[in-house]
Amino acid sequence: MRLDFVVDKTLHGPGLFVRSLGWVGLGWVKKLDVRKNQSDGGVKLRQPPSAEVPARRVVPITSPAAQNPRVSMSFKKMAIPKSSSSSSNRDAEDKSQPLIPGLPEEISERCLLYLPYPYQALVRSVSSSWNRAITDPGFVVARKSLSLSLPYLFVFAFQNSTDRIQWQALDPRSGRWFVLPPMPCSKVVCPSCACASLPRQGKLFVLGGMRSDTGAAMQTTFVYRSSTNQWSEASPMKTARSYLTAGNVNGKIMAVGGCGADGIEMVTAVECYNPNNDTWTEVSKLRTELSKYDSAVVGSSMYVTEGWTWPFMFSPRGTVYDAKTDRWHLMRAGLKEGWTGISVVLDETLFVISEHGDCLMKWYIPDLDTWQCVGGDRFPCETVRRPFAVSGLEGRIYVVASNLNVAVGRIYQNQNGAFCVEWKVMGAPKAFKGLSPSSCQVLFA
């Protein structure tokens, strides 16, 4: 079975302008006028010019059984079972108020499934039936089954002059920025908290930090879900801490080190958060106190180092946590000596980008306990300036810099097996002037 849809849409600036959706087979046309456009800073909304003529294209939509016989067309069939009375009431409401009048429910649901982030949350206000459909647990399951989620770059930033914090999300394909809802606690000093993520699940975690009003360390755990575009508060950590580091080890979030409640005493306790049952458990403690933290996760091991500090007179300390044995051991000499910048891991390979000079990029060779420079393009340090926050996924490195300019590096291997990089710079809107990144994470949304 094949149904042809005519979709008229106009792209104006950074926004999306959907004009009409027509069903050729039945001659039905549903007008949908959604004019939500962002300004340069992703803060204000503006209207596109009405005189602009939309482009027309034909989008074929084939039966999902032909694409994947195991994937059901209706995501409601994937929903979590509810009580019979609740289900009957909801079924009655759905029948009385269709998603899109004139279209079969399965086709209407398919249209909603293809809405990109973050428009799923925005269109919940269109009608009660759309709100029920998008908030249905089966909606997220269906998007994952159809592989409709795409990677977005989430940036935790603060204003240099006021220390005001905010979260922004960047679509690397279009260059559009979206403002996230504020965290439950806005009185956090940047960069005193730590961030980690479960990219494939679309979950972002913000741990601990220091309150700007009292100067006390916090135990809080905030969770952002891209599927709902909302924050929630999870179980707190057992130990209040700030200026800590965090990472995702085998699907669990590790909180390592930091300063204690008084902001002076160093914390050696390490905790592990299980998102499935919302619990924190203590694991093996650090063997030594570190003055500051940078970390990277490779496989089931978490590398933690304090890095080099000016005037580079003392060799940095480093330690490695093995999740299989729940033990810490000393970091190899070549690894810690060459760790001279911010780290990122791609496909089990550790990369480091120096924050000094020409921002040299190199990768670690475990068998030789040595580092090798990455070939290819030179890092665009003229336009992408410190401070840096870095993240990576699926062969690409994202470096967020001052004013939230972003350098995207595509990693590839040459004929000799050595790594090379190709850089592309994405300039930020003028409204982001004065913003500095504290952390960045790549999530699927």
Separation in Å, CA 27 to CA 1, 11, 21, 63, 208 = 17, 25, 11, 19, 57
- The per-residue b/e assignment along 210-237, b for 16 or more CB within 10 angstroms, e otherwise, is bbbeeeebbbbbbbbbbbbbebeebeeb
What is residue 58's predicted lDDT score, i.e. its pLDDT? 38
Give the pLDDT score at 22: 33
Distance between CA atoms of residues 375 and 149, nearest Å: 32
Residue 44 dihedral angles phi and psi, to the nearest 5°:
-100, 165
HEC profile of 295-342: EEEECCEEEEECCCCCCCCCCCCEEEEECCCCEEEECCHHHHHCCCEE
Indicate whether this model's pTM tops 0.85. Answer: no
Q: Where are the alpha helices (DSSP H) in 114-201?
A: 119-122, 128-135, 137-145
pLDDT of residue 310: 63
Q: Quote the tokens at residue 341.
A: 């910048």
Q: Which residues contact 27 (CB under 8 A, 6 or more apart)?
A: none
Residue type, 8: D
Q: What is the mean pLDDT of each run of 10 residues along the chain (445 residues)?
A: 37 32 31 37 39 40 41 49 50 66 87 85 83 82 83 94 92 93 86 93 94 89 91 96 95 94 84 97 91 89 84 80 95 92 94 89 96 95 91 96 96 93 95 95 93
Residue whose entry in the numeric block shows the structure tokens 């809107």: 429
Q: Give me the pLDDT at residue 190, please.
A: 80
Identify the pLDDT of residue 69.
41
